[in-house]
Amino acid sequence: MGIDYKNKLIALCSDGERVLRSNQNGVHGLLKREIPSLLGIHCLSHSFSLATKSDLSQTFPVLDEIFHLAYRTYSYLNESVKRLGKLFEAKAEIEDLIQGLNLIKPTKIRWLSLFNSISRITKLLKPIIQTLKESRDLTAKSLIPYFEDPRILAWIHFLSDIAPDLKFVTTLFQDRNFNMRAAFRILKSMKENLSRKYIDSFRPGHCYSTFLTKFKTLGGTLLFDDFLTYINLLITNLIARSSKNFVQTF
């Protein structure tokens, strides 16, 4: 193509797949043989997505349960014109404010799609449950128990509640003018915001967030401990992944 990449290429930023990141036969490794100074950077936004769900799935298996629930709910309601029509009717009966809202398909590829999907499910929870209960097939009957499970409902509202913070940070990471050095300041600010919103809310004299006020009686202290652990692990993973990129870059 006539591009002098050996003298002009400084770094390769990728999503972390072995075919791209491997120092042996990956794209980065092959290029580095010709350009010894080439830097390899794991995309911060992709790292962010991994830290928010994939890194924590083993500690919190409920995350996979919720992902499958979101996907099954979307597929069941959206792949049938009749069922989708019933959902629209249920939305009209319950609240005018949700008329223009539709379900969002969760995917494992698009960053933070699970949080977007869960946030929408939270807003459409009543019409979704009503539609499922009016259906008589086995799929609907198998989904209803999940939406009646206090533990699942609590996690859905928790993930929905922190979604704006996560989306804000990942949007900053995707800015073309983003500075790697700014990652630590952003993550520190995020940790402080989440701490004020959740961790500090358990201290005497502090107000519960909307979510905690609604679900503070569900699951007991152990359930809330899981949320706090999730937040702490989330921030730790984000800082660790950003630090790794920082070291590789400088």
Strands (E), the chain: 11-14, 39-42
DSSP string, 158-193: HHHHHHHHHHHHHHHHT-TT--TTHHHHHHHHHHHH
Q: pLDDT tier at 129 (50, 70, 90 boundaries)?
A: very high
Mean pLDDT in residue range 176-189: 74
Residue 242's nearest CA partner among 11, 58, 50 is: 50
Q: Is the pLDDT of residue 223 over 80?
A: no
What are the sequence ranges of the domains in the chain? 5-42, 48-249
How far apart (Å, rounded) are the C-alpha atoms in residues 175 and 58?
Answer: 31
- Which region, left, alpha or beta, applies to residue 237 given φ > 0 means left and ψ of -120 to 50 means alpha? alpha
Lowest-pLDDT choice from 1-15, 57-71, 137-151, 206-220 = 206-220
How far apart (Å, rounded) are the C-alpha atoms in residues 186 and 181?
Answer: 9
> pTM for this structure?
0.77
Question: Each residue of 19-73: pLDDT tens digit?
Answer: 777 777 788 788 888 888 887 777 776 777 777 666 688 888 898 899 899 999 9
Question: Each residue of 161-179: pLDDT tens digit?
Answer: 888 887 777 777 777 776 7
How far apart (Å, rounded) are the C-alpha atoms in residues 166 and 52?
Answer: 8
Amino acid at 181: R
Q: Which residue has the tokens 């799935």?
A: 57
Q: Which residue has the tokens 């992944």?
A: 241
Residue 16's nearest CA partner among 7, 5, 26 is: 26
CA dihedral 191, 194, 195, 197 (to 10 degrees): 160
Q: Is the pLDDT of residue 249 over 50?
A: no
Tokens of 37: 């100074």
- At 71 the pLDDT is 92
Lowest-pLDDT choice from 66-80, 86-100, 115-129 = 86-100
Q: Is the pLDDT of residue 207 over 60?
A: no
Contact 179, 211 (CB under 8 A): no
- At 206 the pLDDT is 45
**125-134 and 113-123 helices cross at what angle (nearest 10)?**
70
Contact 51, 234 (CB under 8 A): yes
Mean pLDDT in residue range 109-131: 83
| Through-space distance between the first and last CA atoms of the chain, rounded to whole angstroms | 30
Tokens of 224: 């809330």
- Residues in contact with 123: Cβ distance below 8 Å, sequence separation at least 6, in sequence order: 98, 101
How far apart (Å, rounded) are the C-alpha atoms in residues 250 and 237?
Answer: 20
- At 213 the pLDDT is 64
